[in-house]
């Protein structure tokens, strides 16, 4: 499943229309922890060409929303990067990330890869292990 997060007032409505026009099954969910966040999901069994187009659309949508916020003078308050951290007991928290750092991370990693990285860090914090990395076995 591919997931895209929108923190915009329209909650990615234009993006959803484009996805539906491609005949994709689209899931839209508000985040229970951050009401302003909307997650849009689509199946991951799509062609690489379509995935690339969708990534381009997502980038267009987020850049347009950012430009509008700057035009309206609301950018400082509205633009932020967050990573959801889910702990072993099921609790979650949003960790704020400097927008420029988030942008650089997402330019080389998928959101799933960032999520996996964060999950591993959270697991390491909750389950400390001082075994040297060279002596560890992958789970």
Of 61-65, 99-103, 126-130, where does the model show the most confidence? 126-130
- Phi, psi (deg, nearest 5) at residue 24: -85, 150
Q: Where are the domains of the chain?
A: 1-74, 80-139
Residue with token string 């929303």: 65
Which structure tokens are listed for 35?
Answer: 């009401």
User: How confident is residue 49, by pLDDT bands cut at 50, 70 and 90?
Assistant: very high
Q: Is 98 exposed, middle or buried (0-12, 13-18, 19+ CB in 10 A)?
A: exposed
Q: What rounded mean pLDDT belongs to the chain?
A: 81
Position 101 scores a pLDDT of 78
- What pLDDT was estimated at residue 25? 93
- CB burial of 109-125 (b: ≥16 within 10 Å; e: otherwise) equals eeeeebbeeeeeebeee
pLDDT of 125 strictly over 80:
yes
Report DSSP letters for 17-63, one per residue.
HHHHHTT---EEEE-SS-TT-EEEEE-S-S-HHHHHHHHHHHHHHHH
> In this model, does residue 77 exceed pLDDT 60?
no
Residue 19 has a pLDDT of 94
Dist. CA 89–CA 29, nearest whole Å: 22
**pLDDT tier for residue 92 given thresholds of 50, 70 and 90:** confident
What are 58's two structure tokens? 């997502």
pLDDT score recorded for residue 6: 80
For residue 75, the model assigns a pLDDT of 53
């Amino acid at each position: 499943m591919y997931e895209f997060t929108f923190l915009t007032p329209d909650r990615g409505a234009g993006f959803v229309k484009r996805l539906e026009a491609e005949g994709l099954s689209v899931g839209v969910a508000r985040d229970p922890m951050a009401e302003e966040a909307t997650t849009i999901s689509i199946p991951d069994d799509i062609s690489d060409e379509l995935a690339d187009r969708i990534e381009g659309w997502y980038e267009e949508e987020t850049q347009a929303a950012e430009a509008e916020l700057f035009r309206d003078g609301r950018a400082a308050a509205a633009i932020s990067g967050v990573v959801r951290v889910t702990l072993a007991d099921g609790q979650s928290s949003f960790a704020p990330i400097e927008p420029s750092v988030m942008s650089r991370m997402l330019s080389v990693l998928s959101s799933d890869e960032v999520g996996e990285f964060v999950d591993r860090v959270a697991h390491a914090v909750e389950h400390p292990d001082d075994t040297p990395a060279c002596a560890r076995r992958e789970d």
